Amino acid sequence: MDDSTKSIVKVVALVGGALALYWWLQRSGYWALWFGGPVVGAPVTQPTGLPVITTPPVTIPAQQPQGLPASYSQAAIAMQGSAGAPTQDFDQWSYWWQNTPAFTGAPAGFGSNGSISPTLIDAMIAAGGGDRSVLISAQQWVGLLWGQQQKGVSGFGALFAQAATPQYGWVN
């Protein structure tokens, strides 16, 4: 292969790489984020296994705690916006609590994977009547979360239980 052919191959590879990068930036939304303009790409879809449910909320037997902090109410609104549905079951709201982007002043654990421990979700389900598949509103779910936190049930307990070992000096 002579030098001119090598140069042509290099230019074609460079242009192809640049086009592939441009296409990926457009499809991922980073182009609009970094350079402005409309987001061009695949529509945002709900994660697999979390169907949009549009049935009315079920009144749960547990009484909602009074005096829910404003940040928790804002979290419920954000979760409902992310879910795109007024009602979900306990596990679906748990997903949205952990995967909705956190906002300034968000409650501890909001938007953090692993912030809802099995102990916490089980306590919430028990307080909500014992049926994890019942459809409730985001506000009801957050109210149950707040109520369990006020009782001292921690969402982070299981998260740090393995990491908090005496050899690291975290547990006395």
How far apart CA 71 and CA 22 sit, in angstroms, is 39
How far apart CA 165 and CA 171 sit, in angstroms, is 6
This prediction has a pTM of 0.55
Task: Write down the domain spans for the chain.
Answer: 3-35, 70-159
> For 19-64, what is each residue's pLDDT tens digit?
888 878 777 767 666 766 665 544 555 555 655 555 555 444 444 4
C-beta of residue 31 within 8 angstroms of C-beta of residue 19: no
Other C-beta atoms lying within 10 Å of the C-beta of residue 14: 10
pLDDT-wise least confident of 61-70, 111-120, 157-166: 157-166
> For 55-93, what is each residue's pLDDT tens digit?
555 444 444 445 788 999 899 999 999 999 889 999 999
**Residue 5 reports pLDDT greater than 70:** yes
Closest by CA to 144, choosing from 161, 129, 166, is 129
What does the H/E/C string look like for 49-109?
CCCCECCCCCCCCCCCCCCCCHHHHHHHHHHHHHHCCCEECHHHHHHHHHHCCCCCCCCCC
